[in-house]
Amino acid sequence: MISSLKGQNVLITGASSGFGWYSALNFAKYDSNLILFARRMERLEKLKEEIRILYPTISVRIYKVDVSNKQSIEEAFKQVNTDIKRIDILVNNAGLSQGSDPLRTISEESIDIMINTNVKGLVWVTQLVLPGMLQRNSGHIINVGSIAGLNTAPVLSVYGATKHAVHALSESLRIETVSSNIKVSEICPGLAETEFGGVCFNGDEEKEDQIYGNMELLTGQDVADMILFIASRHPRCVISQAVILPVSQANTFVVHRQK
């Protein structure tokens, strides 16, 4: 059903790197039009140019948006609603983690950043997209969660809590929209080789290596390919949840590392 993506308008948050970047390229390959949100406009400009070269017929609209800021989202949607008629697929991809502090010492600032980005931002964007989907009785919302939203581990208390929230929000929204033709999906990736680790540990390579070192990680492309698969199923079928892990990762905490 890849052909069903042709002409679909796809909004991707956190599109300036990682899963969002590769998802944009994937959807463009199959003739979807793109609405891309991220904080780093220069990265979005680079992505837009890459798509223009590879897929010159695709419409790509980019917006500087900080999803942790409700006003930033609302301002972007004023322009989005002027530029396009509808959003067919929403990929709520924007998310981050802050450090590796245990619960007793994690800072209020880090707590706020994770909750505002991973939970509130997802809710705010969804609230602005969902009414149009309900009016048309069609659409697909794909939430990027995490394996940490299914089982947690030490020093992942608040991050894990935000991803448990993504899981709960996905489940609840699926129930709320069950009488419609709207699909709600959740993808839960494990450890992946993206900029996520660098952001999490603020560029501390030693700390990052303790989590991501000595194993073969997922790539951003791996996860983007799964998102594309979820989005391209027959209208009668919804993949409610997909868990994708490196072969050497069993769950959030159990990882086999090469010596």
| DSSP β-bridge partners for residue 185 | 142
**What are the extents of the domains in the chain?**
9-244
The residue ranges of the chain whose pLDDT is under 50 are 197-201, 204, 208
- Per-residue model confidence (pLDDT) at position 153: 80
CA angle 52, 58, 61 (to 5 degrees): 80
What pLDDT score does 104 carry?
94
In angstroms, the CA 244 to CA 242 distance is: 6
- Is-catalytic flag, 163? yes
pLDDT of residue 210: 55
Q: Which of 22, 30, 63, 159 is catalytic?
A: 159
pLDDT 10s digits, 175-225: 999 999 999 999 999 988 855 544 444 554 555 455 555 678 899 999 999
Residue 18 phi, psi dihedral angles, 5° rounding: 55, -135
List of residues 6+ apart from 5 with CB closer than 8 A: 27, 30, 31, 32, 228, 231, 232
**% of the chain at pLDDT higher than 70:** 91
- Residue bearing tokens 């505002």: 116
Output the pLDDT for position 209: 56
Closest CA to 212 of 198, 191, 196, 188: 191
Residue 55 bears catalytic tag: no
- Please tell me the predicted confidence (pLDDT) of residue 259: 66
The confidence score (pLDDT) of residue 59 equals 97
pLDDT of amino acid 204: 45
- Give, for 34, the enclosing helix (H) or strand (E): strand 33-38
Give the residue among 122, 116, 129 at the shortest CA–CA distance from 145. Answer: 122
pTM of the model: 0.92
Catalytic residue among 163, 183, 207, 259: 163
User: Where are any strands of DSSP class E within 59-103?
Assistant: 60-64, 89-92
Residue 1: the pLDDT is 63
pLDDT of 198 reads: 46
Sign of the alpha-carbon torsion through 192, 195, 198, 199: negative
Q: How confident is the model at residue 36, as a pLDDT?
A: 99
Assign a CATH topology to domain 9-244. Answer: Rossmann fold (3.40.50)
Torsion of CA 125, 127, 131, 137, to 10 degrees: 80
DSSP string, 191-204: SEESTHHHHHTTT-
Distance of alpha carbon 148 from alpha carbon 173, whole angstroms: 20
